[in-house]
Structure 1
Amino acid sequence: METIKFEMQDGVGTLTLNRPTRKNAIDAVMREELKEVVFSLPQNRDLRALIITGAGGTFCAGGDISVMGAGTLAPEEGRHRMRHDYLSWIETLLRLEIPVISAVEGAAFGAGFSLALTADIVLADSSSRFCMSFMRLGLVPDCAAFYTLPRIVGTQRAKELAFSARELNAEQAHVLGIVLEVLPQGRVLERAQQMARCFALAAPAALAMTKRAMNVSMNSSLDTMMDIEADAQAVARTSQWHTDAVQRFLNKKPSAFQWPGSLD
Structure 2
Amino acid sequence: MQAEYMPSEEVTLHEVEDGVVQITMQDRASKNGFSPALMGGLLQAFKRIAANPAWRAVVLTGYDSYFASGGTQRVLMTLQEGTASFDSVNVYSLALDCEIPVISAMQGHGIGGGFVMGLYADFVLLSRESIYTANFMKYGFTPGMGATYILVQKLGVSLAHEMMLSAETYRGDALEKRGVPYAVLPRAQVLPRAIELARTVAAKPRKSLVALKNHLAAPLRQALPEIIRQEVAMHEATFRDADVRQRIETLFGQ
Query: Which range, TM-score by smaller chain?
Result: 0.7 to 0.9
> Matched residues in 2 for 1:214 and 1:205: separation?
14
Alignment-derived partner of residue 11 in structure 1: 19
RMSD, matched Cα: 2.5
3-state secondary structure, aligned to 1:50: strand
Unaligned ranges ≥5, structure 1 = 221-264
Aligned mates of 2:213, 2:122 — CA distance in 1: 8
Q: 1:157 to 1:136 in 2, by over 3 A?
A: same
Query: What are the superposed Cα offsets for residues 53-72 of structure 1, whole Å, 9 maximum, x if unpaired?
Result: 11122111222125543696
Write the distance in 1 (CA, Å) between the matches of 2:25 and 2:19: 20
Name the CA shift for 1:205/1:64 in 2 (closer, same or farther; >3 Å).
same
CA distance in 2, matches of 1:208, 1:176: 32
State the partner residue of 2:38: 30
Give 1:198's aligned residue. Answer: 200
Aligned counterpart, 1:182: 184
> What is residue 49 of structure 1 aligned with on the other side?
57
Q: 1:116 offset after TM fit, Å?
A: 0.9
Q: Does 1:83 align with 2:87?
A: yes
Cα distance in 1, alignment partners of residues 168 and 194 from structure 2: 27
TM (normalized to structure 1)?
A: 0.72
User: Contact 1:134–1:140 at 8 Å: present in 2 too?
Assistant: yes
What is the letter of the counterpart of residue 193 of structure 2? Answer: R
Q: 1:129 to 1:120 in 2, by over 3 A?
A: same
Would the aligned equivalents of 1:124 and 1:179 in 2 still touch at CA under 8 Å? no
Secondary structure of 1:20 counterpart: coil
Corresponding residue SS for 1:16? strand
Cα deviation for residue 175 of structure 1 reads: 4.8
Partner of 2:114: 112
Q: Which residue identity lines up with residue 83 of structure 1 in the other structure?
A: D
Change in 2 beyond 3 A, CA 1:71/1:110: closer
Match for 2:84: what amino acid? G
> Residue 146 of structure 1: which of 141, 145, 148 is its match?
148
Does the C-alpha gap of structure 1 residues 37 and 209 become closer, same or farther in structure 2, counting only changes over 3 Å?
same
In the alignment, the residues of structure 2 paired with residue 200 and residue 157 of structure 1 have an alpha-carbon distance, to the nearest angstrom, of 32
SS of residue paired to 1:84 = coil
- Pick the aligned partner of 2:68 from 17, 40, 60: 60
Shift, 1:149, TM fit:
1.1
Q: Which moved more, 1:148-157 or 1:103-112?
A: 148-157
Superposed CA deviations along residues 201-259 of structure 1, whole A, max 9, x for unmatched, are: 11223322222222235899xxxxxxxxxxxxxxxxxxxxxxxxxxxxxxxxxxxxxxx
SS in 1 for 2:159: helix
Q: 1:26 to 1:106 in 2, by over 3 A?
A: same
Cα 1:107–1:98, aligned 2, differ >3 Å: closer, same or farther? Answer: same
Query: Is residue 155–residue 181 contact of structure 2 (8 Å, CA) maintained in 1?
Result: no
Look up the equivalent residue of 2:87 and give its one-letter code. R
Q: Give the aligned partner of residue 162 of structure 2.
A: 160
Say if 1:173 and 1:179, in contact at 8 Å, map to a contact too: no
Hey, what does 1:237 align to over in structure 2?
Answer: none
Corresponding residue of 2:228: none
Unmatched runs of 5 consecutive residues or more in structure 2: 1-7, 223-254
Contact 1:133 1:165 survives alignment (8 Å): yes
TM-score (norm 2): 0.74
Identity of aligned residues (%): 28
